[in-house]
Chains A and B, each alone.
Chain A
Amino acid sequence: MRSRSRQKQANRFIREQLAKEQRHRRNMIISIVAVVGVVAAGLIGFTVYQAQKPPSYATPAHATADTTGIVVSAGKVPVDLYVDYLCPNCKNFEDSASSALDQLVKDGKIRLVYRPIAILDQNTNPSGYSTRAGSAAGCAADGGKFLEYTKALYAQQPAEGGAGLTDDQLVQIGAGVGLINPSFAQCVRAGRYASWMAHNTDAAAAHNVNGTPTVLVAGKQVTASPDAIKTAVTAAS
């Protein structure tokens, strides 16, 4: 009697041990699957990103040699402006600095280059106004009116969080500065330079430009203010 109950107890012990081992093994397998799954998800993310990148892009007229900027004026000291057409501070900068910049351009002192980028695409609904506006500015460069169009776009800058300007509005603003050729409207509506904008944005990040407006005078970043720019230009002349 006693030995039988002891036997029973031993059997139960063995069964429990086996069940425990099986649980451990199962647990191990599940854990490995989970870790592999999370890492695989990361790889999928990178693959998706690679697939999203536009394979090629068209470059507007008057672009810099590296294709990512529009040359507004010839001059000695390079002044590079990284701007996003949706960025409120870029509008403020344009409002406060444009007369000083115009003067420097008129005096032939600076080689002014605008580098439109799209870092605020997610700040409109639907997303993508920064890219559409930048692409339209590329179309304006083709029509020889980049700076006029840029100023007009900032004068009518839409609020963040809204829908941004429609393509029709982008075309109308162009007409307001003399871009009446139908090819401009076509270019805007086709988003011809959207891929160019994606390329510009990538290139800017590669140069560690992580915000707008970013102003470089002779390749060095300066505060985005007319005084800082004038001082730096004088120093570099």
Chain B
Amino acid sequence: MAQEARLRFVVLAPWLGTLARLVLAGVFFAAGASKVTDLAGSGRAVNAYQLMPFEMAKIVGAALPFMELTLALFLLAGLATRAVAALGAALLLGYIGGIASVWARGLSIDCGCFGTGGALPAGVHPSYLGDLLRDVALLLVAVFLAWRPRTRLGLDAVLLGEPPQASRNRSKEM
């Protein structure tokens, strides 16, 4: 019974991985695309976290959208999935830390995750909990992908061979 469940997981995991890739790719693409047209605004959004000097925030703000778009492309293509998923997880960890720190310090900002950003107008409440839950869920997806990077319909499969399901079955038969 346990073995059967295990087998089912071995069959399903590569497809789950494909789904994970597409979800992460979609979110990173949306996040990157929303900011890439306003790099100065992205720098200001980072600055609003008040975690670093403005000069540094400008660099981070300009770099992030391009990094997110590149991650999205790699994830969509299924290329270097483990490395890219790990990078994505690292980014998400950074976002989670940033939002948690802003919340803890009682600042009232828009996270700037998908554009906009900056201080919120008086009377508008920040949505830190929702932002954190979303990023933690995405982090779990990224960690799963880094753990099981061999997915279906990706370039990794072309360059490195299909996911190891077939060979594992054969070794069991032997």
Partner of A46, one of B54, B62, B83, B159: B62
Query: Would you list which residues of chain A between 25 and 41 have a CB under 8 Å from chain B?
Result: 26-27, 30-35, 37-39, 41
Secondary structure at chain B's binding surface: helix, strand, loop or mixed?
A: helix
Q: Which residues of B contact A231 (CB under 8 A)?
A: none
Interface contact B160-A27, CB-CB below 8 Å: yes
Q: Which of A38, A48, A214 contacts B67 (CB 8 A)?
A: A38
Let me know if B38 and A121 touch, CB within 8 A. yes
Question: From residue A84, how far is it (CB to closest CB) to chain B in Å?
Answer: 10
In contact, A205 and B43 (Cβ under 8 angstroms): yes
B84 pairs with A202, CB closer than 8 A: no
Closest to B50 in A: A208
Contact of B66 among A27, A44, A121 (CB under 8 A): A44
Which residue of chain B is the closest to A22 with respect to CB atoms? B160
Q: Which range holds the interface residue count of chain A? A: 35 or more
How many residues of B sit at the interface, in one of the four size bands?
Answer: 35 or more
B69: contacting residue among A41, A53, A127, A214, CB under 8 A: A41
Beta-carbon contact of B47 and A30 below 8 Å: no
- Which B residues form the contact surface with A (CB < 8 A)? 36-41, 43-44, 47-48, 50, 54, 57-59, 61-67, 69-71, 74, 79-80, 82-84, 87, 109, 115-116, 118-122, 156, 159-161
A contact residues vs B (CB 8 Å cutoff): 23, 26-27, 30-35, 37-39, 41-46, 48-50, 52-53, 87-89, 119, 121-123, 127, 198, 201-202, 205-206, 208, 210-211, 214, 223-224
